[in-house]
Structure formats: C-alpha cells, structure tokens
Amino acid sequence: MITPADEILLRRAIAVAAHAVAVGDAPYGSLLADSDGTVLVEAHNTVRRDNDIAAHPELKLARWAARELDPDTASRTTMYTSCQPCTMCAGGLVRSGIGRVVYALATEQLVELNPQSGDWPAVAHDGPALFDEASEPVLAYYRPAAGSGADG
Ligand SMILES: [Zn+2]
C-alpha cells in the first residue's frame, strides 16, 4: 500500500528522473530513504554518460546499500523509483537487503510510453554441463578440507 508519505518521496524520485533528462541522461530516477523518510542517497540513470549498461539508478542504490549499510539498517530502507525496476536491478535489489521498493510507472506503462523500453531480446542459455569440473572450485570454496581453518 502506498501512503501519502510514500507519494511525497515518490514525487522526489520523479523529480530526480526529470533532472536526469535536464542534464541529458535517460529519464529514470531513484532514491533510498530510511524508516523515518530521510533520504539517504539519490541516483539517476547514467547508462549513456558512463557507457555502462549497469548504470541504472536502482542498481546503483542497491550496491550502495549493500556496501554502506548493515543488513538491519538496509532492511528498514525503502527505495522510491520513477519506474519499476528492470530484471537486472530486481536481482541486485534481492541481494542488497533493501526492505521495500515503491515505484511510479509499471514496466507495462513504461513500454506503452516508449515501446523501445521493452525491446530486449532473449539470450540463449545452454546448460547445465561439466558438473564434476565445475563443482571443484565451488566445493573448494564452500567445503574446504577439514582442519584448514577456513570458516566457509
Ligand atoms: Zn534496471
């Protein structure tokens, strides 16, 4: 459920998206707020500026939260973002520990406004394969030999 307090912060994320356009970047903005609604950090899309496909604001903030916040603090933050996080950012959000996401435009709404936003071709995946060989480094890391002193 989106509250009036959420809408205030969501409008600020939309303003960050508008700022992105004003400085020549793609129209996406996000911010991260603590449980009191204090804005901790903001970001906008800099994919073109940085020539970095991962420079989505949601992923920048997810990485920031994972790096700068302890897990308990991260779990009490909310990300406000002008558009629903894409699948790349959704994966980062899961690992970030951020507790909640509030977005303005759903992906379907974004694609209606700009059909190119949904024009991502599927990538062929082949596998699994080479189980024994591929298992070796995984087991070496997670199940070190007894007595090695590693804590796994
Ligand atoms: Zn994204």
Dist CA 32 CA 91 (whole Å):
17
Predicted TM-score of the model (pTM): 0.91
Single-letter amino acid code for the residue at 112: E
CA of 91 to the centre of ligand 1 (A): 9
| 4, two tokens | 């009036």
CA of 146 to the centre of ligand 1 (A): 42
CA of 70 to the centre of ligand 1 (A): 23
Secondary structure string (H, E, C) spanning 75-123? HCCEEEEEECCCHHHHHHHHHHCCCEEEEEECHHHHHHHCHHHHCCCCC
**Radius of gyration of the CA atoms of the chain, in A:** 19
CA of 87 to the centre of ligand 1 (A): 6
CA of 107 to the centre of ligand 1 (A): 11
| 33, two tokens | 């707020």
CA of 129 to the centre of ligand 1 (A): 30
Answer whether 86's CB lies under 8 Å from 57's CB: no
Provide long-range contacts, Cβ within 8 A and 24+ apart, for 14-23: 14/82, 14/104, 16/42, 16/43, 16/44, 16/57, 16/82, 17/44, 17/82, 17/83, 19/44, 20/44, 20/45
Q: Which of 32, 21, 5, 30 has its CA nearest to residue 83?
A: 30
What tens-digit pLDDT sequence spans the chain (152 residues)? 999 999 999 999 999 999 999 999 999 999 999 999 999 999 999 999 999 999 999 999 999 999 999 999 999 999 999 999 999 999 999 999 999 999 999 999 999 999 988 888 899 999 999 999 999 999 999 998 765 555 55
CA of 140 to the centre of ligand 1 (A): 33
CA of 134 to the centre of ligand 1 (A): 30
CA of 131 to the centre of ligand 1 (A): 32
CA of 35 to the centre of ligand 1 (A): 23
Dist CA 101 CA 77 (whole Å):
9
